């Protein structure tokens, strides 16, 4: 009765010492202590917040609440910010109501996530092709070959062609456009659209853009960006994509040249 009253690890230790020889009992106790002291979701601790968000964002709010409750505060905060608004509310409410979690439930959630992650990594290792691979290959083709291939694919799967195009050229790739091409692009972009698109651009790209503007125009863009305040990432990405689409149209029309993409032999000298 005394053992039952005490409970916990001490009860287990006493019970084992009565049932096993001392060395074996101590070995089992050490194993138990290791399991008890193990940090929940340790396999997620070193993951980048962005990757972790992608991995868990479709989970049930209660599952996400359990996970973020066991992550460092800064990482939990980054995960929360990246969730859709309605899910943010659900997760916050559940974390607030979570006084103590059942260790067995935590272990079940952890085991399920580990199994899913393992499965994902296995499939990722097996996947050697995909849309991204196609985009990489076409980026190295000359313009004529790319156009022929894309037109052929478009006749069968227009959505696939659009996905390939988006992966072939992203906003930061504007660095590959020469100064004359940059100036041609800037003539067709609204200043507000440019300010929005440059919100998350690298310093190198901003410098290249500003170098192809008059000092006054560049200063106006900098000031508007400074006073713009916080904006949604989705709005920034949409503005960037519209500019990318413009760059692609100008390239198709032969008005600008994108270097480093297997197109140098089309240059007129």
User: Do 54 and 83 reside in the same domain of the chain?
Assistant: yes
User: Do 81 and 136 reside in the same domain of the chain?
Assistant: no
Residue 269 lies in a domain: no
Asked if residues 47 and 15 have their Cβ atoms less than 8 Å apart, the reply is no
Tokens of 229: 């305040």
User: Do 67 and 86 reside in the same domain of the chain?
Assistant: yes
Domain edge (last residue) among 126, 147, 181: 126
* Sign of CA pseudo-dihedral 97, 102, 105, 107: positive
CA dist., res. 185 & res. 135, Å (int): 23
User: Do 54 and 121 reside in the same domain of the chain?
Assistant: yes
pLDDT at 127: 52
Residue 203 lies in a domain: yes
pLDDT at 218: 94
CA dist., res. 69 & res. 165, Å (int): 40
Residue 268 lies in a domain: no
User: Do 158 and 178 reside in the same domain of the chain?
Assistant: no
* Among 183, 181, 202, 192, residue whose Cα is nearest residue 242: 192
User: Do 257 and 222 reside in the same domain of the chain?
Assistant: yes
CA dist., res. 30 & res. 216, Å (int): 71
User: Do 164 and 234 reside in the same domain of the chain?
Assistant: no
User: Do 24 and 46 reside in the same domain of the chain?
Assistant: no
Q: What is the CATH classification number for the domain harbouring 94?
A: 1.10.220.30
Query: What distances in angstroms separate CA 9 from CA 14, 39, 106, one per listed residue?
Result: 9, 18, 19
DSSP state of 141: S
Tokens of 95: 């974390």
Q: What is the CATH classification number for the domain harbouring 159?
A: 1.20.5.2020
Q: Residue 36: in which H helix or E strand, if any?
A: helix 22-37
Residue 89 lies in a domain: yes
pLDDT at 220: 94
Asked if residues 48 and 79 have their Cβ atoms less than 8 Å apart, the reply is no
Residue 187 lies in a domain: yes
- pLDDT tens for the chain, residues 1 to 269: 343 334 455 666 676 677 777 777 777 766 665 554 456 666 676 667 777 787 788 888 888 888 888 888 788 888 888 888 888 888 888 888 876 667 778 778 878 877 776 666 555 444 556 787 788 777 766 667 777 888 888 888 888 888 887 787 788 889 989 999 999 999 999 999 999 999 989 999 999 999 999 999 999 999 999 888 888 888 998 999 899 889 988 987 888 888 755 444 444 44
Range of the domain at 176: 171-263
HSE-CB for 245 with a 13 A CA cutoff: 8
Q: Angle at Cα 85 formed by Cα 84 and Cα 89, nearest 5°?
A: 120
Domain edge (last residue) among 98, 126, 154: 126
User: Do 108 and 153 reside in the same domain of the chain?
Assistant: no
User: Do 213 and 147 reside in the same domain of the chain?
Assistant: no
Residue 142 lies in a domain: yes
Number of domains making up the chain: 4
User: Do 250 and 204 reside in the same domain of the chain?
Assistant: yes
- The torsion region of residue 77 among left (phi > 0), alpha (psi -120 to 50) and beta comes to alpha
Residue 185 lies in a domain: yes
pLDDT at 181: 93
pLDDT at 5: 38
Domain edge (last residue) among 168, 198, 227: 168
User: Do 191 and 243 reside in the same domain of the chain?
Assistant: yes
What are the residues facing 177 on neighbouring strands? Answer: 258
Residue 51 lies in a domain: yes
């Amino acid at each position: 009765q005394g053992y039952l009253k005490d409970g916990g690890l001490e009860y287990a230790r006493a019970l084992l010492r009565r049932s096993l020889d001392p060395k074996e009992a101590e070995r089992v106790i050490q194993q138990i202590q290791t399991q008890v002291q193990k940090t929940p979701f340790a396999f997620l601790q070193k993951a980048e917040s962005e990757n972790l968000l992608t991995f868990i964002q479709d989970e049930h709010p209660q599952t996400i609440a359990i996970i973020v409750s066991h992550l460092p505060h800064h990482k939990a905060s980054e995960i929360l910010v990246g969730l859709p608004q309605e899910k943010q509310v659900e997760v916050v409410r559940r974390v607030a109501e979570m006084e103590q979690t059942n260790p067995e439930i935590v272990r079940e959630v952890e085991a399920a996530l580990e199994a899913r992650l393992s499965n994902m990594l296995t499939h990722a290792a097996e996947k050697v092709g995909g849309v991204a691979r196609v985009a990489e290959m076409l980026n190295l083709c000359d313009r004529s070959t790319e156009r022929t291939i894309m037109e052929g694919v478009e006749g069968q799967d227009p959505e696939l062609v659009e996905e390939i195009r988006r992966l072939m050229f992203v906003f930061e790739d504007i660095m590959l456009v020469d100064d004359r091409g940059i100036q041609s692009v800037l003539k067709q972009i609204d200043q507000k659209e440019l300010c929005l698109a440059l919100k998350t651009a690298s310093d190198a790209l901003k410098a290249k853009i500003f170098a192809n503007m008059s000092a006054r125009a560049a200063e106006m863009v900098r000031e508007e960006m400074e006073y713009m305040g916080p904006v949604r990432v989705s709005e920034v990405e949409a503005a960037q994509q519209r500019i990318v689409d413009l760059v692609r149209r100008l390239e198709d029309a032969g008005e600008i040249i994108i270097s480093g993409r297997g197109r140098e032999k089309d240059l007129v000298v």
